[in-house]
Amino acid sequence: MFTMSEQKSPKLNHLIASLGDSDLVSSRWLQAHGYSRSLVSRYVTSGWLVSPARGVYLRKGGRLQWQGVLRSLQEREGFALYVGGRFALAMQGYEHYLRLGEAATVTLYGSTRPPGWLSQLAMPDRFEFCGKPPFDWPVPDFTADTQKCQLLEQGLKRQEVLSGSGAIVYATPERAILELCDDPASAVLAYEADTLMQSLATLSPRRVTELLRHCNSIKAKRLFLALADRYQHAWLKRISLDGVDLGSGKRVLVPGGRLHPTYQITLPRDLDEHLV
């Protein structure tokens, strides 16, 4: 048994050097890279690693932050998960419900569920898995080798959002608002999406067009377009609906609501009263 005062082995040195202040590493990853359970147990006993939840580890002095946790999931653990929807809009300054100092609910989208240990981490922020995004693209690989252009084609981008925590992949506003519009139908969804749409005056018409063509949620597309029509942002006149499937018949978002004449989806009759 070695102790904190003893010289670290090259194997331990390599592991510690690869972990940033907020990076996590799972038992699965450690075993796949030659770190046996007994060796990891010795690292924990000696204080080089700490375990914030069963089956996952931080280096000595590390701290739990959602940015570092997500980066570890994307780049080290290989999970096809990214920040989208409501929280992606919040972190880019479009969400007025996120108050300074409040704990966040980080909305994750992807093709696979996150590992069980994610919900066991003792941190103020929590993660909410929202399932597969409403697009016909397969969720791409989020390793460091994934090119920026590959991500942007799908309305995704990689960027550092907290100094020192490394870059993470998240949805652009164009993609995030469509993901939000795919939430379960309700008046609350309409109010929230409408408030956000009011502030989305600088969306990319090219990106919106491409996302609409690849979006497989009729409700999300109709709600997005009906709300955009309310505010007549400049980008709306520059998008093309060629190749965009809007389905047929009416869509009831709110029972007893007002039917949008163009996009045939019901919106709350008191929508204007909820603007702030």
The whole-angstrom separation of Cα 148 and Cα 244 is: 25
Do 46 and 20 share a structural domain?
yes
Is position 3 within any domain?
A: no
Q: Is the dihedral of CA 245, 247, 250, 255 positive or negative?
A: negative
160-188 pLDDT, tens digit per residue, is 877 766 899 999 999 999 999 999 999 99
- Contacts of 17 by beta carbon, 8 Å cutoff, 6+ apart: none
Q: What is the pLDDT of residue 55?
A: 94
Inter-residue contact 58 to 118 (CB < 8 Å): no
Let me know whether 112 and 90 are in one domain.
yes
Is the pLDDT at 234 greater than 70? The verdict is yes
Q: What is the pLDDT of residue 6?
A: 45
* Average pLDDT of the residues in 197-213: 97
Cβ distance 266 to 253 under 8 Å? yes
Angle CA 159–136–74, to nearest 5 = 30
- The pLDDT value given to residue 100: 46
Which residues in the chain belong to E strands, given as ranges? 25-26, 49-53, 56-59, 81-83, 105-110, 126-129, 156-160, 167-171, 258-259, 266-267
- Residue-number span of the structural domain to which 20 is assigned: 10-59
Residue 197 resides in a domain: yes
Domain boundary among 109, 136, 171: 171
Tokens linked to 45: 């006993």
Please check whether residue 66 is in contact with residue 114, taking contact to mean a CB–CB distance below 8 angstroms: no
* Domain membership flag for residue 46: yes
Q: Does 257 map to a domain?
A: yes
Of 169, 171, 142, 154, give the one whose Cα is nearest residue 207.
154
**Is residue 90 situated within a structural domain?**
yes
Based on the fold, state whether residues 163 and 202 are members of the same structural domain.
Answer: no
Pick from 171, 196, 229: which residue ends a domain? 171
- Count of domains observed in the chain: 3
Single residue among 171, 193, 226 that ends a domain in this structure: 171
Decide which of 56 and 148 is more confident: 56
- Give the pLDDT mean for 111-127: 94
Contacts of 131 (CB under 8 A, 6+ apart): 109
The answer to whether residue 161 is domain-embedded is yes
Q: Mind listing the pLDDT tens digit for each residue in 40-97? A: 999 999 999 999 999 999 999 999 999 999 999 999 999 999 999 999 999 999 875 5
Q: What angle do CA 155, 224, 150 make, to 5 degrees?
A: 10
pLDDT tens digits for range 18-56:
998 899 999 999 999 999 999 999 999 999 999 999 999
